Amino acid sequence: MKMNKILETPRLYLRYLQETDAKRMSEYRQKKEVAYYQSWKKYSIKDATKRIQHCLKLTSLCQPKTDYHLAVVLKDNEQMIGDLFVDVVNEKAFVLGYTLDSVYWSQGYGSEIVAAFCMFMKERYHFQRVICYVYKDNQRSRHLLKKLHFQKFEESFFYHDEGYIKYL
């Protein structure tokens, strides 16, 4: 059995997804304003269940060619407010994505959990780089990354997104 909590911040903790998270994950990912800056338009309970089942097979947070999601949870009421997506590129770099329920936007939760997770990956697994991709018009996400000292390194004409990197 996996340890449930992976890391804690002053207001949040990060844990492995559980099958019981499917309904909640679908709820916030289905919101029009949340899906707008993501690769999906609809996110059913079936989609969430399938993704969670994939993540339950996870044996390592640092294995190259591994991708997974983790639950972002409020400490005070145990409410799942979002998730992190991690795609381990190699032993030195990973791609990070984040999705928060729009009710929790603009309260510092995103930057709190992203900063803590980057530090965790550096200290625990010795990663040296983290990469994030955001749509050019996603001002909140761009602000979050700049606040955490990510630097833009790429723009995609085809996908209308930008790549940001942070050396840990």
- Please tell me the distance from the alpha carbon of residue 68 to that of residue 66, in angstroms, as a whole number: 7
Domains of the chain, each with CATH number or no CATH: 5-167 (3.40.630.30)
Q: Is a pLDDT exceeding 90 seen at residue 159? A: no
Instruction: Convert the pLDDT of each residue in 102-140 to its tens digit.
Output: 999 999 999 999 999 999 999 999 999 999 999 999 999
Buried b (16+ CB within 10 A) or exposed e, 78-102: eebbbbbbbebbeeebbbbbbbbbe
> Residue 80 in contact with residue 45, Cβ under 8 Å?
no
pLDDT for position 1? 36
Q: Is a pLDDT exceeding 60 seen at residue 3? A: no
Q: Is a pLDDT exceeding 50 seen at residue 153? A: yes
CB atoms under 10 Å from CB of 124, counted, come to: 12
pLDDT for position 158? 78
